[in-house]
Chains A and B, each alone.
Chain A
Amino acid sequence: MPSPALESLRRSVATLEGGGTDGHGPDLPLGLAGFEGMRTGVLHEISPASPAAGHDGAALGFAAFLLGGLARLAAKPVLWLAEGDMPHAPGLARFGLGPDRLVMVVPGRSKAALWALEEAARSTALAAVLGEVRGLDFTAARRLQLAAGHSGTTLLLLNRAAAAVTPALTRWRVESLPGAEGHWRLDLLRCRGRSPDDSGMVASWKVEWDGTAHCLGLAAPAGHRPAVPECARVA
């Protein structure tokens, strides 16, 4: 029976060598204590804390941060499938999603959007795809997961609806925290292989996005702020 220490050592060696666990690509390190990194080639779900209009800035920011990191990690472009209005391009560019890295798709019809999402997930030309989805049923999500697994493309679903997309490997809820820009609370609601605690979450972090350095720092409580926030650089 392999010990947990040996397992985690194996995993970190594999990450350092560039190959992730189970034959997926390397994980995207986030610098969050207790979380190894975003697994690539799988489905992840991100939701804003409130479905009200205008409350999704933090979720969009976190999603854009992940996309930028994944694009840099794999050195391939990413696709953003917008529903309704697309995000503001200069805002996205601050996360490293310039026109050379990002292709924006505005499908218009939900059936076409689902098809486009699957088509993009199946392609090996992209590092990651973000789909703004509403009401994705289990079968469709499972197909997307399989497509992503085959191609190694990471799939991020920005889900504003209340219902969760079950086959996702991780499910995040992102909320704005008071403070300067980029202060978010990330709640990891679900992570395969880990069970939630009493509050219904697997883990929670208060992070601070450093607008220029493309990395997340763990926000220290007020008054104990270090001179330079410790953070893990993304590739």
Chain B
Amino acid sequence: MAVNRAAALAGLRPGMKLASALAQVPSSRVLPHDPEGDARLLAALAERCGLFSPWTATDGASGLWLDVTGSGHLFGGETKLLEQLTGRFHALGLTARAALAATPGAAWAWARFGDPAAPILAEAGELEPLPPAALRLAPATVQALSDLGLRRVGDLMGLPRAQLSRRFGHTVVWRLDQMLGDEPEPISPLRPPVAHRVHASFAEPISRAEDIAATLGHLLGSLCRRLEEDGMGARRLDFTLFRVDSTLARAEIGTGAPNRDPIHLARLFRDRLADIRPGFGIEAACLEATAIQPQSAAQSDLEGQAGEADLSRLLDSLSNRLGPGRLMRLIPRPSHVPERSVRRLGPGAPPPAENWPEGRHPIRLLPHPEPIEAMAPIPDAPPLRFRWQGRLHRVVRADGPERIAPEWWHEESEERDYYRVEDEQGLRLWLYRLGHYGHAEPPRWYLHGVFP
């Protein structure tokens, strides 16, 4: 059972039985615990804190980690950063305490047990008066320490480590080391940190589309300059906008080849920006290159290179607007079965030339072979007549059979006998027969393709 401030003032404590609590304060409101909902909310809060740092993570059920190394100056100092952070949570209706320290362990301890008036931990010595619970130990261990009179972290720091570890377990020493920085404590961020990231904050929140586009242009300029310095090009870019009500809007684009031309990238973003709603206003924006690849210096004076660049710009533009998987190059797949003989590749660089199997191929293959009725001399001569979609076609010229055996690793296990037929009007079609005459079940005929 958890309690809020009003309940705590009325004398209720976390962990009390519900019946006792209701007996003590009959008018208290009871809400069921929703662990998944809470976890989702916490993750959303961690993401919104992306405004302050790209490195955010959740801590347990009700804590957040933020690695704000180097972010202080963006907010006018670390004190102001903490003030803004807690202010945001208060605006959302949440009670929050924040602390800043050199290590995660120290920050955890200081946030929960430290002096609220001085949230920034100045030196390790200030940790000494804190109770052992500040070391993130199990309640049984804390109780055991307390029974022995070790009621301050400072007491523990003075004891010989080997004996401490033997008496209370390795965890105590480990947590002490983490707090003091002797033991590393890496925090896994929710969103993987990106090396190429540029950030802009606004003195006044913006909401006009032109301003958003101008910000994007400005950020693209600086990001592309940095990419150029590092000899890299972007393959995927994320543009995140932080609204004043602590919500996020995100737009993402991808390119077929590494690119660092700000004009081209801005154009790819144009359609996405139209979908972004500014809400009550946007106070900060962040542009990240989430996927990059090495890119050599462009040689735009050579004809061939310019043509390729034009083509990849067109393909990028089409890809981003139409969605993934809509543009493709078609190469042979080694399969005799016609509907499985074509493989789709992304539209990027053209693949090396591979040859299709020899022979005449239809120019259209029906996605689902259409059943037809055909009359053919047994056992396997081409059909003389067939009826398709209610019309009777008389075969004038025919070729076949061409037997295509099934691929035993796929389900369909019947072989097909294909025939190229031409009717009296000149229609050239590809038919096949499934099954043989003379067997118990009559064979079935299908139309599969059209020849030019």
The answer to whether A54 and B429 touch across the interface, beta carbons within 8 angstroms, is yes
A87-B364, A88-B342, A181-B360 are contacts. A104–B330 as well, Cβ < 8 Å?
yes
Would A88 and B329 count as touching, CB distance under 8 A?
A: no
Q: Mask for B340-370, Cβ within 8 A of A = 1, else 0?
A: 0110010100110110110011111111000
Closest to A124 in B: B310
> Which A residues from 22 to 77 make CB contacts under 8 A with B?
52-58, 60-62, 64, 76-77
Q: When chains A and B are docked, how far (Å) is the Cα of A209 from the Cα of B15?
A: 87
Which residues of B are found within 8 Å of A99, using beta-carbon distances?
A: 329-331, 345, 350-351, 353-354
Nearest chain B CB to A80 CB, angstrom units: 10
Contact of A116 among B322, B451, B452 (CB under 8 A): B322
Provide the residues of chain B in CB contact with A85, threshold 8 Å. 364, 366-367
Query: B314, B330, B452: which contacts A123 (Cβ < 8 A)?
Result: B314
Whether B362 pairs with A91 at a CB distance below 8 angstroms is yes
Let me know if A104 and B328 touch, CB within 8 A: yes
**Which residue in chain A gives the minimum CB-CB distance to B312?**
A125
State whether B332 touches A90 (Cβ < 8 A). Answer: yes
Q: How far in angstroms is the closest Cβ of chain B from A177?
A: 5
A-side contacts of B351, CB under 8 Å: 99-100
B137 within 8 A of A: no
Give the distance in Å from the alpha carbon of A106 to the alpha carbon of B323 in the complex.
10
B327–A104 contact, CB under 8 A? yes
Residues of A within 8 A of B425 (CB): 176, 178
Asked if B322 contacts A108 (CB within 8 A), the reply is: yes
User: Beta-carbon contacts of B418-449 to A below 8 Å, as 1s and 0s?
Assistant: 00001011111100000000000000000101
Number of interface residues of A (CB under 8 A): 53
Taking a contact as CB atoms under 8 Å apart, the answer to whether A88 and B331 are in contact is no
Q: Give CA–CA (A67, B308) in the complex, Å.
A: 19
Please report the C-alpha to C-alpha distance between residue A155 and residue B322 in the assembled complex, in whole angstroms. 20
**Chain B proximity mask over A111-140: 1 for CB below 8 Å, otherwise 0:** 010011001100111100000000000000
**Size category of the binding interface on chain B:** 35 or more
| Any A CB within 8 A of the CB of B124 | no
Q: Which of A58, A90, A103, A181 is the one whose CB lies under 8 Å from B341?
A: A90
Give Cα A177–Cα B388 distance, bound, in whole angstroms: 19
Report yes or no: A108 in contact with B310, Cβ–Cβ below 8 A: no
| In the bound complex, CA of A175 to CA of B427 (Å) | 9
CA distance A119 to B322 in the complex (A): 12
Measured between beta carbons, the chain B residues less than 8 angstroms from A58 are 426, 452
Q: Are A57 and B427 within 8 A (Cβ)?
A: yes
A178 x B321 contact (CB < 8 A): no
* B328 in contact with A103 (CB, 8 Å): yes
Decide if B118 is an interface residue (CB 8 Å cutoff). no
Q: How far is the CA of A223 from the CA of B296 in the complex (A)?
A: 63
State whether A119 and B318 are in contact (beta carbons under 8 Å apart), knowing that A64-B363, A209-B452 are contacts in the complex.
yes
Which residues from 128 to 164 on chain A have a C-beta closer than 8 Å to any C-beta of chain B? none
Of listed A54, A56, A58, A119, residue having the most chain B CB within 10 A: A54
Given A88-B449, A91-B361: A116 in contact with B307 (beta carbons within 8 A)? no
Closest to B333 in A: A89
How far apart are B312's CB and chain A's nearest CB, in angstroms? 8
Does B450 lie at the interface of the complex (its beta carbon under 8 Å from any beta carbon of A)? yes
Chain A hits for B396, CB < 8 A: 178
Once A60-B452, A181-B428 are accepted as A-B contacts, the answer to whether A125 and B332 lie under 8 Å apart by CB is: no
On whether the beta carbons of A125 and B314 are closer than 8 Å, the reply is yes
A88 touches B314 (CB 8 A): no
Q: Is the CB of B321 within 8 A of A116?
A: yes
Contacts of B363 in A (CB 8 A): 57, 60-61, 64, 87-88, 91-92
| Cβ 8 A contact of A105, one of B326, B331, B350 | B326
Q: Shortest beta-carbon distance, B447 to chain A, in Å?
A: 7
Instruction: Specify which chain B residues have a CB less than 8 angstroms from the CB of A125 in the assembled complex.
Output: 307, 310-311, 313-314
Q: Which A residues touch B317, using CB under 8 A?
A: 119
Q: Does A19 contact B (CB under 8 A)?
A: no
Chain B residue with the shortest CB-CB distance to A209: B452
Question: Is A98 an interface position by the 8 A CB rule?
Answer: yes
Partner-B contacts on A (CB < 8 A): 52-58, 60-62, 64, 76-77, 85-94, 98-100, 102-108, 112, 115-116, 119-120, 123-126, 175-179, 181-184, 209, 211
Sample of 13 more A-B contacts, CB < 8 Å, known A57-B429, A125-B310: A54-B427, A60-B364, A64-B363, A77-B311, A88-B342, A89-B330, A90-B357, A91-B363, A100-B351, A112-B322, A119-B314, A177-B426, A178-B425
24 contacts across the A-B interface (CB closer than 8 A): A54-B427, A57-B362, A60-B452, A61-B363, A76-B307, A77-B350, A88-B363, A90-B341, A91-B362, A93-B356, A94-B361, A99-B345, A100-B350, A105-B322, A107-B326, A112-B321, A119-B318, A119-B321, A126-B311, A176-B427, A176-B428, A181-B452, A183-B426, A211-B360
